[in-house]
């Protein structure tokens, strides 16, 4: 995949783990975009989502929402599909309470980093149905849902499938001196989470650091 570029946009991704965030200070620290966790699994709404969504936007950041996947429903196909659809519905419901998915500047994201004992075929089925349901809610063919994952997970838990490679990829790869490896049919990333130990004004603890390739978030 491509290396980073100083002319790209730089931002962060957050959840309630970061606690109270002073978004004006984040903006002042030259961060131009933020991905904000909306939900996790089939029940958990991020407690800081609504606050972060409104305050980050008011501070002038470009924003997007992500769902932390907890795949389940196996071993039957119907159970897997039902679980994926339920988690998509949870994500969309949380986002709807803060103005709806159309109010976001950046594509919605499925953060996939655990398989919960699903095999690669089952996990792919789960991901495809979550992504399809969210795409249907967005109703914008130019802003399809994006996948977040890391090279090792794609290569192992998803068996390096190329079935999702038509989607934009947010790759987690913590080596700023080396470009992320080609994996799963992707030879370019749209977003790169290049660190998870960042220090940013306005946030008291550590935070993930991200780069956006297309410049749309500048």
pLDDT tens readout for residues 87-114: 999 999 999 998 888 777 899 999 999 9
Per-residue pLDDT reduced to its tens digit, 27-47: 999 999 999 999 999 988 899
Angle between helices 77-96 and 120-138 (to 10 degrees): 40
The full set of domains in the chain, from first to last, is 9-212 (3.20.20.80)
Residue 217's pLDDT band (cuts 50, 70, 90)? low
- In this prediction, residue 75 carries a pLDDT of 94
- In this prediction, residue 108 carries a pLDDT of 96
Per-residue pLDDT reduced to its tens digit, 143-196: 899 999 999 999 999 999 999 999 999 999 998 778 999 999 999 999 999 999
Q: Which residues make beta-bridge pairs with 207?
A: 198
- In this prediction, residue 216 carries a pLDDT of 54
Question: Do 12 and 69 touch, CB atoms closer than 8 A?
Answer: no
- In this prediction, residue 142 carries a pLDDT of 81
Q: Where are the alpha helices (DSSP H) in 19-167?
A: 23-28, 49-58, 77-96, 120-138, 151-156
3-state secondary structure of 52: helix
Q: Give the global pTM.
A: 0.94
How high is the mean pLDDT of the chain? 94
- In this prediction, residue 160 carries a pLDDT of 98
Q: Is the pLDDT of residue 137 over 60?
A: yes
Q: How far is CA 197 from CA 24, 65, 143, in A?
A: 21, 21, 29
- In this prediction, residue 98 carries a pLDDT of 87
């Amino acid at each position: 995949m491509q290396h980073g570029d100083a002319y790209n946009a730089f931002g962060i991704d957050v959840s309630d783990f970061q606690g109270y965030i002073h978004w004006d200070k984040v903006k002042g620290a030259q961060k131009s975009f933020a991905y904000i966790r909306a939900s996790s699994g089939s029940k958990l709404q991020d407690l800081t989502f609504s606050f972060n969504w409104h305050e980050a936007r008011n501070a002038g950041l470009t924003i997007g929402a992500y769902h932390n996947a907890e795949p389940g429903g196996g071993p039957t196909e119907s159970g897997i599909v039902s679980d994926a659809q339920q988690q998509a519905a949870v994500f969309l419901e949380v986002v709807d309470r803060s103005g709806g998915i159309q109010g976001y500047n950046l594509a919605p994201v499925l953060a996939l980093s655990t398989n919960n004992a699903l095999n690669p075929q089952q996990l792919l089925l789960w991901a495809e149905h979550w992504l399809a349901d969210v795409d249907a809610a967005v109703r914008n063919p130019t802003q399809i849902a994006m996948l977040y994952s890391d090279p090792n997970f794609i290569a192992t838990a998803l068996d390096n499938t190329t079935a999702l490679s038509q989607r934009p990829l947010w790759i987690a790869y913590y080596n700023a001196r080396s470009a992320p490896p080609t994996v799963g049919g992707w030879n370019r990333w749209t977003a790169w989470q290049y660190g998870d130990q960042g220090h940013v004004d306005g946030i008291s603890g550590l935070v993930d650091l991200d780069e956006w390739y297309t410049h749309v978030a500048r």
